[in-house]
Structure 1
């Protein structure tokens, strides 16, 4: 039996009653980072400066941004993990997440992400531990093929659109073959109406139906108020887990906003310079400044020559605070190929250090952030250059974050 120390969830602010959708600066990696950081913050004891020990990361999604070149480096940097932590990038849905969760060792961080442009989207992460937490025991799994929804390599999605076939010959047969002795309390991977028909009582409605739904189902046990049998299904496959309690959950769930109406200008995008990309990668994605080895002055980005003492003896990377106050802000309406407009840029005075950072504003309509507003710095996809996601940090204003009703919400 494995032990889940904490669960973290993330939902983008944009969407409608039908579900959340990706923001213009989000993808599977940025969603994964947000959920993982929520889980690690929840697993960190109050007042402790020591982060939980993560020895392995499993990243499950069907929307990997880079199929060649990998996403592991950006994922580790955004979460704040060392670059020697092994990462498994797996294409899969809810059953694949539960398969991993049921057999992983302590120190494994399991992340499930749904990031299809058609939505609904979201991400959730669970940290396994050999200490305190709730036990998770695999009950059974069935792997079958019924590709009602499919996408071939290099092609677009295909939908057979036969709900009865999927229900009766897909999920229905898989559940029968599991031979469960009692009804699940939460089912991931099905529309709410179908899930209610399978559950004991009235289960919580989950915001997604793919890979992240399995971990949203664990988080939903807090609403049920007890553990029990949890089921993840996908077309013809199913995996069942028994959870012996309610996991500790931290939710990063902003208030719902209608998607912005953005203008996308045709034309050639700004090409990437891989040399510049490599030089800036660690500082930019780990949110580190260069600290002068001679006088200790901070510079973002790191500089060869210290502006304070003139030393060229070198510098060391040091983590920067992830909160601050808007020093000044401007909204850009000028059309630029590759950058949806309008968007806001802010100079942010970081808390506790003499550093100001120029960043885009995210999670709020352009033009709504004012001087003096406070916020947190979050990983976002600032551009796609030559087909390569270019990640950096953006200001998420506090005013845009709704206090979720659940305990442990990110505020």
Structure 2
């Protein structure tokens, strides 16, 4: 049975307390990276990664390379991508080996949660599993969604029927249903989970760990069900959940899409997505982005090594762009960030803040974001998230 060493959660800053909305530079992979890095803050080795979502950006190709690079993990690690909701995430956790990072991600409402298993910590074990077919919501290969639109049928013949057939005791928390249903189905008080999909059961687990709640945790989706029994144990919970704010108005210009060069994408991938600079053996200077050098004798020197860059820094200068750009929402802000202690400055876009609000001297962190979608390919890089976004507004409220 798995033991849990740490749990990390992430909610986008946009939306309302009831429904978070992903930013225009966020997708399932960037949300997964945020939650995964939060779970890894407590330390601990990772040997396997399981990503569970119904909103994976790439279906014809793997999302593993970007996920591992953003998490700063070995590119040779085994990654399993599962299509599913709350039951699939709890199934993955219940059968996980030690040193497995299980991440659940949702886009509507948006949020992600990650759990790192270990040889000790909070103990969980599989309690129930029910697989029944009631496809009230379907999605075709082309992405078209059909919703049968009968919530009463979904409740009566879906998760309520599955709960009645499961031999699990009265659940402490039920994830995967609307907030109005959680209090009626569970033994504990009503719990407002921020999501209803793959991440919802992991969010519920974080709440149980913080509150010291033990007992069955059940995840449902349509007529399928998976349950874990949560016992006692120490676990580190780290939440990246800023207060919600309305998403600012912007203008999108879809016409004239800029095509992608996959050759250039591949050459820049490691340094850009892993946030690394180049260093030559005979120099302490870091080159960002990494580049070749010509020696004094005219020989091209390609022998640099990649070095991790800090993910915190200070705004050196800034500008806000109002001119529409194909594929980007405007206005948006760009900043040159002085990275901590390495003498490197990076030009990046501002994220998680309204355009024009970042100022010289602001502190913040570098976060993985989807910088563009070109020729249908999500292109990832780093953006600057200021530390004190919304502080004045929150204090005034």
Same fold (TM > 0.5)? yes
Tell me by how many angstroms 1:18 deviates. 3.0
> Partner of 1:409 in structure 2?
none
Q: Give the deviation of 1:292 after TM superposition.
A: 1.7
Structure 2 CA distance for partners of 1:184 and 1:30, relative to 1, 3 Å: same
Within a 5 Å distance, the mapping from 1:48-59 to structure 2 comes to: 52-59=44-51
- Once the two structures are TM-superposed, the CA of residue 179 in structure 1 deviates from its matched residue by 2.2
State the shift of 1:225 in Å.
2.6
Q: 1:101-124: CA deviations, max 9, x gaps?
A: 111110111000002xxx211000
- In 2, Cα distance between equivalents of 1:265 and 1:220: 41
In the other structure, the counterpart of 1:121 is 110
Secondary structure, counterpart of 1:391 in structure 2 = strand
Does the alignment pair 1:366 with 2:355?
yes
TM-score of the superposition, structure 1-length normalised? Answer: 0.92
Taking the aligned partners of 2:274 and 2:256, their CA distance within structure 1 comes to 29
Aligned to 1:198: 185
Q: CA RMSD in A?
A: 1.7
Q: Give the match's secondary structure for 1:298.
A: coil
Is the aligned partner of 1:275 residue 2:267? no
Gap regions ≥5 residues in structure 2: 392-397
**2-structure distance, mates of 1:309, 1:373:** 43
Is the partner of 2:329 in helix, strand or coil?
Answer: coil
Q: Distance in 2 between matches of 1:304 and 1:389?
A: 27
329, 352, 357: which one pairs with 2:341? 352
Tell me if 1:334 matches 2:323: yes
* SS of corresponding position for 2:256: coil
Q: Which residue of 2 aligns with 1:259?
A: 247
Q: Secondary structure at the match of 1:168?
A: helix
Equivalent residue, structure 1, for 2:76: 84
Residues 167-209 of structure 1 show CA distances to partners (whole Å, capped at 9, x for unaligned) of: 11000111011122x3211110011221111111304210000
Shift of 1:223: 4.8
Residue number among 83, 91, 95 corresponding to 2:87 in the alignment: 95
- List alignment gaps of at least 5 residues for structure 1: 45-51, 403-411
Counterpart Cα distance in 1 of 2:114 and 2:188: 26
The answer to whether residue 40 in structure 2 is matched with residue 35 in structure 1 is no
Cα shift readout 1:241-297 (whole Å, capped 9, x = no counterpart): 001136321000012110111101131211111111011000000000001222121
Measure, in 2, the Cα distance between the counterparts of 1:376 and 1:308: 38
Cα distance, 1:299 vs structure 2: 0.7
Conservation of the 8 A alpha-carbon contact between 1:57 and 1:110: yes
2:394 aligns to what?
none
Three-state SS of the structure 1 residue aligned to 2:264 is: helix
Against the structure 1 CA distance between its residues 305 and 135, is the aligned structure 2 distance closer, same or farther, given a 3 Å change threshold? same
Aligned to 1:318: 307
Q: For the Cα contact (< 8 Å) 1:300–1:357, is it kept in 2? A: yes
The structure-2 alpha-carbon separation of the partners of 1:308 and 1:251, relative to structure 1 and needing over 3 Å to count, comes to farther
Deviating more after overlay: 220-229 vs 20-29: 220-229
State whether structure 2 residue 69 is matched by structure 1 residue 74. no
- The 3-state SS of whatever aligns with 1:166 is helix
Secondary structure of residue in 1 paired with 2:143 = coil
Alignment-derived partner of residue 210 in structure 1: 197
Is residue 343 from structure 1 mapped to residue 332 from structure 2 by the alignment?
yes
Find out whether 1:227 has 2:214 as its counterpart.
yes
Compared CA separation, residues 184 and 314, structure 1 to 2 (3 A): same
Whether the 8 Å contact between 2:173 and 2:188 is mirrored in structure 1 is no
2:98 pairs with 1:110: no
Q: How far apart are the structure 2 equivalents of 1:245 and 1:84?
A: 34
Corresponding residue number in structure 1 for 2:364: 375
Contact 2:316/2:335 (8 A) holds in 1: yes
Distance across 1 between alignment mates of 2:155 and 2:385: 41
Q: In 1, distance between residues paired with 2:34 and 2:271? A: 18
Q: Contact conserved, 1:253 with 1:401, CA < 8 A, in 2?
A: no
